[in-house]
Structure 1
């Protein structure tokens, strides 16, 4: 599994906006209006009113909205410079979609949404969930808008491998036992990188998070908004924080849900995320062992962990059939389990899939792995994994210089997660062979001068550990931490009335949740 900073928002988890009444703690909220329509003179680069001369043509473009083929949604294509350092050198086309505010009530402007990834389609997320599933009061007063980031989905997508090549890539053993298996794993990462360079070499140097954040400012201006109102999940929090760093005076109401910590180097991000998956698995195991049909036994969480590791070893040595040409080996089995960690709603499906796989039939875990990789029934893949690597490998220097470094790191990863540590340590080798040098570096983001920003963390989040939200809220000069005490990846729209009410109130009238507010 190629998991380096794969900070995704589970489509299953976000399929329905929860309306269950839950309790919350943390005291009363403090009012601090931060309206998206407040008029403050922006600093830095272009705005709709005073664009940088080199970018004026982009900030001044008029979108030609057209029917998307999805009821109520409109689509358009916007232009942005391929290279912001050389705006005259070429363009990139960005796919944008919107759905108009439903009313009644005063329209507050545009609400831009991003589901994470990097590599997740924001347009698909808007049309499939956010534009119809966000709380009705928010949709009533905001035009909901999404733009696929450059290199993603409909916005000149990065391409790397064919479907059959991806099938091979996803099955490579990521817990090498000897020099030959280590060499095969390194070769798979090299082939992946070479495929990306061959098919998408021209765009690879220009898909960084900074580039995408600058694109968002063009979108903001083209939509006619003086300030950006935004909800970003998972990796989308890094994108939102980067926007705030670049354009602090243009920050309206920003919600960063399932936050990343931009101050960490890649190896620490990987190790922390490994620990996050361990936390999520232990929560799953604690639930599983209380059920008489738990496939990992009913003795204890520790015993369940041992039994899962034993299962992984067994399918590493002898993959089980799935009813199709791909057998279930350790790599796909591990990916299938991790896919279910994003949302506790998937735990029953995981129990059933593990029961069948331990019994010798692996189609259930294979289906979970395929959903994680966005593999279609015809054997094709969405570009999620390609864009994920392209953005991550540009944003931060690689975790390791080579296989020897990865091998040395295995014990620390296994300490973080006895179940997943070894495989995730080796998975962090992927950017080592990337053809384009990293342009970003880990650093603290303070966004001095920005309006209040709400940072949301879930205490048992598998993909973005809670301590990352704590760190980002502390870094941001205007950060306010909102905590969900629970399971799963991200919190907004997942069933906590306390969380949803706090965020809705902030988006609608600018009342910022009290820093440190906790919800269940």
Structure 2
């Protein structure tokens, strides 16, 4: 899953940054036809015509963090009703949690945001971003709106697969036995997982209709309910899939799309998985090179040996988990790798990863365990959100399905080859994953988006992004016929997170629809120790 990075703040200044490597400032978008918004189907009129009942947000909080931020009286929340199955608009319905912070000045409309995942809470992101943007041009001109996609967070029916105790068991489960017996055991667990998701989430029809195909239709109803003739949208990571899918389904209803940390809609699931693993190995190697410059680097002074050193440090955890939290918990091998991956999303986390690996070498797994908690959506109270469960469920209907063990084994082999730092060394366990046992077929497939009539869009892609490699952003911008902003750096997503060069361009596009010239480029601060 793509990590959720809280955007820090926007510095909306109407000048170009000195680190922008181009000849001029951003330019007005090329004039394009301005078609009328697409009329909704008559059978959906009751959903499109609904009026949202706004009120306080406290009852929408699903985590301790939300409970702290949703108390802000400047935030208001509501529930949007949508069909559970768009083929049966008179049947069951779903209710989508929506959070809004009103514009403080001359309002253009709503800026709808999504943090990615899939499975991350857009309401949480909306609350965080509204505070960061309150004094900026964006906060003045836009209502900042976040929504929890169907199945996620405060939306109902809510995806639910494991209770807290089952989550702890799952995190300790190694699944490293490549023998026929080991494969059979892992597949039995994955089949049970699919069954639990079906039973606890409200039935097979919920799981069948929880994918991006349906979320973008919810987004169009939300656009109408917010009073916006056309959608202005910022999507991070998986949120770029929602953005590009909306662009294809409703090109006439788009005002502006910023897509940061792109998924390439043409790429197969297998190739994207291999490329993502390669991206994390690239990030690991960059971390190792930086660590080697530091005194007492736990991976040693030779970056070429860092992967082997990491393996020697973490693989013993398969037989002997490390003590953590003063002995109250233990660090498993899967959690050590997961915690490392969490820290590789952002180079600012590298010093913490350095400390975590050093502590593990001394027998204490606390830091890596806390990083793994962050990835797995575990609160300090021991309660798990449904972010990872929703990630799996939504992926099972969004992605291509592998039902052949040989194909699954080849994917794992290629992934281990692409990211040897996370290879457990026990051999390929060619077990089918939970999606192979899903009660509903996929609702999406790789393809070239058909976006005739789409206005200019802006894709942002970071050269050293581990989770959504740079080339995917290049390909997405080309597929949408839009602009590309290249950002030199090492992190996953960057828009409205405090880099003046990036934020000026993004703000100028969202407010004035100015797109950057070809070859636009920004740079992040040097990596730690660099």
What TM-score do the two structures reach when normalised by structure 2?
A: 0.89
Which residue does 1:451 correspond to in 2? 455
Aligned to 1:327, the other structure's residue is in SS state strand
Q: Name stretches of at least 5 consecutive residues in structure 2 with no aligned partner.
A: 58-70, 524-530
Deviation at 1:310, TM superposition (A): 1.5
Matched, 1:473 2:473: no
Which residue does 2:527 correspond to in 1? none
Which residue does 1:3 correspond to in 2? none
CA contact (8 A) 1:271 1:425 kept: no
User: Which whole-Å deviations, capped at 9, do the CAs of 1:186-234 have from their partners, x for residues lacking one?
Assistant: 2332222111011112411111101000101011111111110000000
Residue 281 of structure 2, aligned match among 274, 278, 282: 278
Aligned length: 499
Which residue does 1:8 correspond to in 2? 3
- Map 1:224-235 to 2 at 5 A: 224-235=227-238
Structure 1 vs Structure 2 CA RMSD: 2.3
User: Which whole-Å deviations, capped at 9, do the CAs of 1:233-269 have from their partners, x for residues lacking one?
Assistant: 0000000110000000111011000010111221112
Deviation at 1:325, TM superposition (A): 5.2
Deviation at 1:22, TM superposition (A): 6.0
- Map 1:85-100 to 2 at 5 A: 85-100=87-102
CA contact (8 A) 1:79 1:94 kept: yes
User: Which whole-Å deviations, capped at 9, do the CAs of 1:297-317 have from their partners, x for residues lacking one?
Assistant: 12x222112111222222123
Deviation at 1:411, TM superposition (A): 3.2
CA contact (8 A) 1:164 1:379 kept: no
Deviates more, 1:500-509 or 1:132-141: 132-141
- Map 1:410-421 to 2 at 5 A: 410-420=412-422
User: Which whole-Å deviations, capped at 9, do the CAs of 1:495-518 have from their partners, x for residues lacking one?
Assistant: 422111111111111111123311
CA contact (8 A) 1:274 1:416 kept: yes
TM-aligned CA distance change 1:305 to 1:295, over 3 Å: same
Which residue does 2:190 correspond to in 1? 189
For residues 428 and 100 of structure 1, the distance between their equivalents in structure 2, rounded to whole angstroms, comes to 47
For residues 517 and 431 of structure 2, the distance between their equivalents in structure 1, rounded to whole angstroms, comes to 39
Residue 31 of structure 1, aligned match among 28, 46, 60: 28
TM-aligned CA distance change 1:34 to 1:102, over 3 Å: farther
CA contact (8 A) 1:160 1:195 kept: yes
User: Which whole-Å deviations, capped at 9, do the CAs of 1:364-409 have from their partners, x for residues lacking one?
Assistant: 11110011011123322101011111111101222x3254433233
Which residue does 1:143 correspond to in 2? 143
Q: Name stretches of at least 5 consecutive residues in structure 1 with no aligned partner.
A: 1-5
What TM-score do the two structures reach when normalised by structure 1?
A: 0.91
Deviates more, 1:409-418 or 1:425-434: 425-434
Deviation at 1:17, TM superposition (A): 5.2
CA contact (8 A) 1:263 1:442 kept: yes
Deviation at 1:451, TM superposition (A): 0.4
Residue 216 of structure 1, aligned match among 214, 219, 231: 219
Aligned to 2:322, the other structure's residue is in SS state coil
Aligned to 1:409, the other structure's residue is in SS state helix
CA contact (8 A) 2:186 2:431 kept: no
Which residue does 2:160 correspond to in 1? 159
- Map 1:64-463 to 2 at 5 A: 64-68=53-57, 69-103=71-105, 106-127=106-127, 129-134=128-133, 136-156=136-156, 157-200=158-201, 201=203, 202-298=205-301, 300-322=302-324, 323-324=326-327, 326-398=329-401, 400-420=402-422, 429-463=433-467
Deviates more, 1:417-426 or 1:157-166: 417-426
CA contact (8 A) 1:175 1:426 kept: no
User: Which whole-Å deviations, capped at 9, do the CAs of 1:97-134 have from their partners, x for residues lacking one?
Assistant: 1011122xx2111110111110000001111x211113
For residues 243 and 79 of structure 1, the distance between their equivalents in structure 2, rounded to whole angstroms, comes to 19
TM-aligned CA distance change 1:314 to 1:347, over 3 Å: same
TM-aligned CA distance change 1:203 to 1:508, over 3 Å: same
Deviates more, 1:360-369 or 1:167-176: 167-176
Deviation at 1:412, TM superposition (A): 1.9
CA contact (8 A) 1:455 1:469 kept: yes
CA contact (8 A) 2:10 2:503 kept: no
- Map 1:50-65 to 2 at 5 A: 51-65=40-54
TM-aligned CA distance change 1:425 to 1:138, over 3 Å: farther
For residues 421 and 261 of structure 1, the distance between their equivalents in structure 2, rounded to whole angstroms, comes to 26
For residues 174 and 505 of structure 1, the distance between their equivalents in structure 2, rounded to whole angstroms, comes to 49
TM-aligned CA distance change 1:166 to 1:449, over 3 Å: same
